[in-house]
Amino acid sequence: MSVESEEDRDVLLADFGGTVTVVATGLNFTGIFDNDYLALMGMESRNPMVMCKSSDVTTHSIAQGTALTIGGVSYKVVMPQPDGTGMTVLELERQ
């Protein structure tokens, strides 16, 4: 599903998102956090991730290794994955 406009992305995040804090700057943006358990072909994983606007990734200079706080828990960005629709999934590692 493509989120067509900046306004659509804002509505999606307002409805389902929460606050994400960039530790180095103390600045916040909104993202949809997911920490679901995944079992696929005999492999198990619990990879936390947060989906946010790609413009927030750029504005806050988020890259591999950036420290974030979500719900009082510290994470490090393992890999930002832009999806080409104006949204980016940040794969996280709990610290």
Tens digit of each residue's pLDDT (9 = 90 or more) over 24-43: 999 999 999 998 765 556 66
CB contact at 8 A, 91 and 79 = yes
Question: Is 68 among the domain residues?
Answer: yes
**pLDDT, mean of residues 66-87:** 94
**Identity of the residue numbered 65:** G
Question: Is 1 among the domain residues?
Answer: no
Read off the tokens for 6: 């900046």
Residue with the larger pLDDT of the pair 5 and 19: 19
CB contact at 8 A, 29 and 20 = yes
Question: Is 33 among the domain residues?
Answer: yes
pLDDT at 43: 61
Residue with the larger pLDDT of the pair 45 and 1: 45
Domain interval for residue 70:
6-94
**Identity of the residue numbered 45:** S
Q: How many residues does the chain have?
A: 95
What is the domain-level CATH number for residue 44?
2.40.10
Question: Is 71 among the domain residues?
Answer: yes
Q: Smallest Cα–Cα separation from 53: which of 85, 26, 23?
A: 85
How many domains in the chain? 1
